[in-house]
Structure 1
Amino acid sequence: MSAKNYVDVHETPPVSRLLPLSIQHLFAMFGATVLVPLLTGLDPATALFTSGVGTLLFLWITKGKLPNYLGSSFAFIGPIITVSAAHGIGAALLGCFLSGIIYMIVAGIVKKAGVKWLDRVLPPVVIASVIVVIGLSLAATAVDMATKVTVDDVSVISLTSIEISLVTIVVTVIAAVVLRGFFALIPILIGIVVGYLYTLLRHPDQIDFQKVAEAPWIIGFGEMFSNHFKFHEVYAVIGDPSAWITALIIAPVAFVTLAEHLGHLLVTSKVMDRDLMKDPGLHRSLFGDGVATALGGLLGGPPATTYGENIGVLAITRVFSKAVIGLAAVFAILFAFVGKINTLLMSIPTPVLGGVSIILFGIIAAQGLRMYVDNKISFENKRNMIIAAVILVTGIGGYKISFAGMEGFLGNITIDNIALSTFLGIILHLILPGKESAMGEADAKTQE
């Protein structure tokens, strides 16, 4: 990869570029990060705070070599809602904390066992297919955000939403492809800003400034601790054995999100054209994610996960600077204490976020397709065709296993489509003969 077409992790852009690049990452993660606490009854300001601190800890643990942003994980939404309703928020947050501990334990095992075994179970045909799934599994969600509105709890097509999202998409594409210099590095930011202004001019009823006006300027640190952070809820149930048993309903979800974490690391490796599994190492990325998840559980924020939206930004801009991600994390922390800015960001119209999400998720999928080509995966081989077919259809189609409503340890646990499609791909690769074909021509020649 030429040094002329990207900014590496150890490089820091000048302040005039650093600020908008960081704000772009903030916008990319903001909608999804605050949506999870809104759905689960947790606090959005706390979610912003824990995502920012968690990202900074992640950067430090991974030695600044892995420029991922950590936001709220969607995989825990169902379990948190279920446990909170039945046993209280303290038990749910304890389960989130234990999920982080599981990540750390797995990280220790990976450090001892190494990552060579991953090369045997995750050949290019599996990895590339999983990357495509990560990009396209949320395609329907992005399109719904871009084209629909909710009326009386029913989602319906809205020409206004389509209009706003199309403007956002077109502007973002033009910024990425046509513009030159620094402006070519912030197409997502440009798309969101222009989409917002367009909505304000054409459809001002889509933006609620009343909430912005009513929001406080500053949330004091004392108020944040007493009214937003939930560590006292966790502390209250630590001595209750039944709370620990209940928390075990949530904790095993960590084994499901491990597959998502692995997929995101593989995508980032592809985007950056380097083996991040070995340097800084899967054990460091897992441990960093675990620390961020445990922190979220203690303070009352959702469990953390590396964000595909921000990986998409990395792919578009080719700016991998840890300083850019770090400053985005600092902004998230600061905005957690600034009520009006927090509320203003939440006022970004859903079709605008849907428009940029279509591009970001599509770019991740394109990275997987590129991996097929780079490794010269042959689909004349029936084995490769079958493995890819199973992964793609189960992953993109939303094939999942849910134990919701069942009694006992597995109750309310769902193995989501990304994790399940990954597991199916690995199993098929391990049991079908002719494993060398899954490596592709490029890797096969390297092994020879």
Structure 2
Amino acid sequence: MEAKMKAVRAGHKGAVTKLLRKFEEIQQSSEADYEEISTLLEAVTQKKRILENINEKILEQTSDEDVAGEIQDSDEYMYNLEYKLRQITKLAKSVQNQSLPANESISLNLNPHADNFIPNTQSVPSTFISQPSTSANQQYTHSSNSRSSSSTNSDNTNTELEEFQTIYENSSVSFLDNKYVAKLPWKTNHPPLPSNKAVAFRRTENVIRRLSKEPQLLQKYGEIIEEQEKRGFIEKVEEDLVKPNTKLHYIPHHAVKKDSATTPIRIVYDCSCRQTPDTASLINDCLLNVPPKLNDVTAILLRFRMNKYAVCTDIEKAFLNVGLDIEDRDVTRFFWLSNPTDPSSCITTYRFKSVLFGATCSPFILNAVLSKHINNHQTEFTDNLMRDLYVDNIVSWF
């Protein structure tokens, strides 16, 4: 079965190679057609989805000693494919707008406190509109995705992103019971979100079976989940206690081994899992992918060396320490053993009470929460914190 799946994967990779050769021909052509590029982009995107699903099935059937190599090879191929997809997307926008050279690099100054900024390789929503919602979950939409080489449009994009984050901080981030709680930034007209229940359950069974061959890793895996439950990051839920019209989504997870004596394994939640290759949406498709404000790590490290004393710190489990609004928790369900460290116990349902790392919007949410906290507690060190913050790390000096 595994050999057949690998043969199928090789066939799809061959088709992708032909599509990418077509893209190279279009790049060299003096007259690129937008419709042709759009069709090519759609075809490559569909192949990427199919390959992601095949990779998951192959990984489930791969022996323990070959898992690491399989993950590494698949990740390398998918990374290169994603890079090509971004090139195709950029060319499509360039042809459509007739204003942006296909090989131009854009640097977005998203943090007014930073001296230098990271070029943002993501597609940046150019206009955000706050939408009223009948539920407790505030939703947002963007009208278009674009990039521009002109300073005026770049400034407009920066302003719109700043305005959107301000709206999000004020309407979707609150401080309850001595903890920040955030809502997920849903796309207003997002595609239907499948439950993924069957595939999540099957993959959980496979994880348990695979880890059972290495009892110490299964024990550690269970201890991580047990600790998260004790600390209030996750909670057990009853399958039959669901409110009407509640969005339900189950997220598969798997183990990644680490060369560490203290943490030999970590849990990765797959928010990009599709129920089938033809499934049109996954949870990351339904959430806004807003770029967070990030200071340039190179500039931070250079400043770090300038004075006599250096200070480094980070926030322990930063994402998990941001609470998730109760209305959004049921889209973060997952399966594990009812007794996390007992492989003979039955499988039950958990859900996150906190922001999980695998969601596409999680870096933005964390950044918005930290920004709100720092701005609400102004001191003489506020500007330094904003200047030397990188995700959940502070690297500073005095």
After TM superposition, the score normalised by the length of structure 1 is 0.24
Q: Which has the higher contact order (CA 8 A, sep 6+)?
A: 1
Richer in strand (by share): 2
State the TM-score, normalized to the length of structure 2. 0.26
Larger Rg: 2
